Amino acid sequence: MSSRKVLTNLVPKAELRRYLFEFKVPLSYKDVAATLEACRTVDSVKLPDTVSADNVMTFKRILETMRKRTGRIDKTLATVENNLVERAAEMGHNSAIALLAGRVLADKDSPKEDTTHADYLLTQLMDRGHALAFKISGDLAYKAGYSEKAIKFYQLAVDHKMDDNAVLVECLRNIGLINFMNKAITRARPAFERAVDVAEDPKQVMDCHYYLGQMLEPDKLAVRYHFERAAAHGLKEAFAPLGFLYLNYFNDQKLALEWFKLGAEVGDINCLIGQLDIYLKQDDVQRAEGVVDKLKTSEAGTKALEFRPKALERIEAFRKQTGPREGIDISDRWGF
């Protein structure tokens, strides 16, 4: 099968060309296709003479970015992505060597001889100030339960000015997350803020916005800004707090209801509770009844209703007045 046909089946030519333009790859489509085809197997098929180790790692980043953005996982492309790292390491690329060393050290079943050599390679790269080696060491330290040590490695990676924006942001995000989980809020905030400030892909930091929204609680405008950024990029955990913020602080039932409806569509119980609160505030007991019926279809929803006894009393009184009712449709869509 030709490389052109393989790529056409797995990655549309136009899509790959867009990524090559985005990553500023100064090579022909033909050479890129030949390289990806050569990396479908672990065999050392000769790469085009125009392709350098840096190019090979860039192709790896392209496939990784494509996978993360689309959520599309293909076994063949995953194999190609792994083999690109192998080939780049064979060509002497330090980042590829660091990645392979990290994989060996993360695998508990790796032979002792392999782990010793991998540790040596990673240490050598850190001694040379290689940023990705520090980041990988941070991952390994965190996985082993050494959170403070992990933070130090991530900070060293940041300080050594890595070229890959996504990896830089991941280090800042990890520093923020570890400190946040350890309740070191004053250390978490600047890491999250810098991650948000430098990120080229806003989806990568949507949870950073969410955590910042929680940390900045006294400043309602700042909280709204960060929750909106998180929600706008699809973080469903932000829908309910944003809706309640609009409802209880900004007194904007219309916007609150829009976010609650969006959250309810993805199964967020708190968003259904938010809808219930708004419909009762609007004296729309019929719609409130529909929300209650929906909540009662799940154990979590039934438990959540225990905190709304007055709402249940009001709906029960409404039912006694009107008699048995058919199911009420509360799924009306909204434009946003």
Answer whether 169's CB lies under 8 Å from 198's CB. yes
Final residue of a structural domain among 213, 234, 255: 234
Domain count, the chain: 2
Which distant-in-sequence residues (6+ apart) come within 8 Å of 226 by Cβ?
209, 210, 212, 213, 216
| pLDDT number for residue 323 | 64
Question: Which tokens hold the place of 278?
Answer: 């708004």
Per-residue pLDDT, 332: 47
pLDDT at site 336: 30
What does pTM read for this prediction?
0.85
Do 252 and 291 share a domain, yes or no? yes
Among candidate residues 215, 172, 179, 212, the one with its CA nearest the CA of residue 194? 172
Please state at what angle helix 112-127 crosses helix 131-143, rounded to 10 degrees: 130
Domain-embedded: residue 64: no
Residue 60 has which token pair?
A: 């790896």
- Judged against a pLDDT cut of 80, whether residue 97 lies above it is answered with yes
- Claim to verify: residue 263 and residue 313 sit in the same structural domain: yes
Q: Which of 187, 214, 234 is the last residue of a domain?
A: 234
| Each residue's pLDDT tens digit, 218-244 | 899 999 999 999 999 999 999 999 999
Predicted pLDDT of residue 325: 55
CA dist 234 → 26, 60, 177, 229 (Å): 34, 26, 19, 9
Do 259 and 206 share a structural domain? no
Domain of residue 169 covers 164-234
Domain end call among 234, 267, 290: 234
Is there a contact between 99 and 114 (Cβ–Cβ < 8 Å)?
A: no
Q: How confident is the model at residue 28 (pLDDT cuts 50, 70, 90)?
A: very high
